[in-house]
Amino acid sequence: MPGPRRAAATALVAALLHGSTALAQATYGSAPIGGRSALMGGTGIALGRDGAAPLLNPATIVHIDDSGIAFSVNFYSYQTTHLTDFHQPGAASASQYGALSLPSTSLDAWRVDSLPSTFCFFLTIGNWGGNAKPEAKETRTHRKGHQKLSACVVTPERQALNATASGYSGDSAGHHASQALSINQWWTRFYVGPSYSVHVSDDVALGASLQVVGTIANSVWSVDTLVSDAAGNGSSSAYDTGANAYSLDLAAVLGMVWHIDDAQTFGVSLMTPSQHLFGQYQGTTSVQSQDGTGMAVQTTSSGSYRAPVPLRLGAGFGADLGRAKLEVDATAFVPVTDLARAEEQTQKTTLVGGASTSSSFPQTLTVTGRPIVDAAFGMEWFTSPSLSILGGFATDFSAMNPLTQSPPIGTLAETRVHHATLSLGIGSYGDGSELLLGTQLAYGWGKSIAVDPYESPAVLTLVDSRTYGAMLIIAGSVSLSAFRRTLQDLTTVVKLPGGK
């Protein structure tokens, strides 16, 4: 390698290794959190009454008729991701590769997954004001004093990309290129905490929840490329990084529901910016190139990590038209701090031409955001008192600022994708219980980073990302009174020997 190119490559790799990448997520509805809510387009700020209620609007948990258990289990999710021109994301260096234009360079990745479930326990705790019995049917004149407590585990955000053990080979301009790559990105966020709701009047209910927010992010990239020509000359590059991070935060959700009349309901909720408790970040990087001379750089990084929840303000309007229920929601997310932040100490070792150097330095990695507004629409139509059809539509825009076309190596932001979902399902209702079955279809569009090994030195760039997903949703609830009745019925059927 000539002296200027060698110096440029050394400088680039030194900058590249200021930190390894880790996934940062900023789409806040990337996983369904309640069966009814999911099948009605993610609505629930006004009419919620399932496991999504404590997070969307805790004031709505008072709508749940009886103390009981609510569950939402999303068994199977299929997703395919298409990354355009991933194996050659840009024009190759003409001086080294000529007019290299490889065929079929897009990357397709797919996965079948089982998503975490939502589990909630709801409890009637009495009547503030003593206006009605807990088991009394809710009417406008007998709402005041109804109180509910709940405890929930909810996973509203999840995103994954898996392209493990993917290979590529192609020929162009007298060169043969082969690539071995494995990419695994995973992000999940869960909420755990209690919620309380009370009807302070026959028309107004207030609610609050306190949530411990856990965020886990993992990212692994291994992209190894070999290029050779007819004369037997060749070059290689290897880009391998890994990162693991988690953050624990504390956030509160406040909500209000106003029953305008017997048919119309208005709801509003506010999630406060989270308070960081603690978190950790660890990353490793190994970059090597062979182009006339050898060069290798390795780093290890460790430090603190935080992924705060932004300020969230939501409003919803619901209408009960007898055989049909409709709801329209709008939710604004306002990042008041960075979406993700890692403060770390990095140890770096560089080997060029047999000479080794080492250094240690602190650095801060951040992901910035911007305000966004999501919308949701849901409908439930009853064909009979025991059977209904549910459907809905929702948007899930990313609050992350747009990625630059030439991302700095060491960024926490690897993917920025917006989503739109369409859902459809059926509901079956019995004495104190319900069962919901349906599907949610999703489409995502945005940008993802990619390694361009055909520049000298190699660079990071952006490629188009498209995702398509289908999810099977099985959800339901059962009241404790119905559960007790089932046990009593079983007792009468299964008798002890001797008729006792």
- Look at residue 374 in the predicted model and tell me its pLDDT: 96
pLDDT at 294: 75
Please report, rounded to a whole number, the percentage of residues in the chain having pLDDT higher than 70. 80
The residues spanned by each domain of the chain are 3-499
Structure tokens that stand for 395 in this block: 């948007």
pLDDT tier at 10 (50, 70, 90 boundaries)?
very low
How many helices and strands (H and E) does the chain possess? 5, 20
The b-or-e profile of 412-425 (16+ CB within 10 A means b, else e) is bbbbbbebebebeb
**H helix or E strand, kind and range, residue 213:** strand 204-229
Mean pLDDT value across residues 306-315? 94
Six token digits for residue 250: 């504390």
Per residue in 262-279, pLDDT (tens digit) is 899 999 999 999 999 999
Least confident window among 25-34, 210-219, 424-433, 456-465: 25-34
Q: Following DSSP, what letter does each residue of 91-115 receive, concatenated?
A: ---HHHHSS---SS--EEEEEEE-P
The pLDDT assigned to 13 comes to 37
Q: Radius of gyration of the chain from Cα atoms?
A: 27
**Model-level pTM?**
0.81
Please state which of the ranges 162-166, 177-181, 358-362 shows the lowest mean pLDDT.
162-166
Burial of 141 (0-12, 13-18, 19+ CB in 10 A): exposed
Q: Provide mean pLDDT across the span 217-225.
A: 89
Beta pairing partners, 194: 151
Question: What's the CA gap between 205 and 214, in Å, rounded?
Answer: 29
**Closest to 202 in 3D by CA, of 273, 113, 132, 133:** 132
Largest CA distance in the chain: 97
Phi, psi of 487 (to 5 degrees): -65, -40
Position 11 confidence tier, pLDDT thresholds 50, 70, 90: very low
Distance of CA 320 to the CA centre of its chain: 31
Q: What is the mean pLDDT of the chain?
A: 82
Q: Comparing 141-150, 232-241, 380-389, which segment has the lowest mean pLDDT?
A: 141-150
Cis peptide before 2 (omega within 30 of 0): no
**How many C-beta atoms surround the C-beta of residue 280 within 10 A?**
15
pLDDT band at 432 (very low <50, low <70, confident <90, very high): low
Instruction: Of 237, 107, 226, 105, give the one whose Cα is nearest residue 175.
Output: 226
Residue 342 near residue 307, CB atoms below 8 Å: no
Chain segment 18-29, per-residue pLDDT in tens: 333 444 566 676
Helix (H) or strand (E) holding 244: strand 234-259
What are the tens digits of pLDDT across the range 93-141? 777 777 888 888 888 877 666 666 677 778 888 654 444 443 444 444 5
Distance CA 400, CA 339 (A): 7
In whole angstroms, what is the distance from residue 45 CA to residue 331 CA? 9
Residue 90 has pLDDT above 60, yes or no: yes
Burial class (CB in 10 A: 0-12, 13-18, 19+), 499: exposed
Top mean pLDDT of 56-65, 229-238, 252-261 is at 252-261
* The CATH number of domain 3-499, selected from 2.30.30.230, 2.40.420.20, 2.40.160.60, 2.40.50.140: 2.40.160.60
- Ranked by mean pLDDT, the top range of 1-5, 204-208, 402-406 is 204-208
pLDDT of 343-380, one tens digit each?
999 999 988 877 899 999 999 988 999 999 999 999 99
DSSP E strand stretches across 173-203: 175-199
- Confidence check: pLDDT of 434 > 90: no
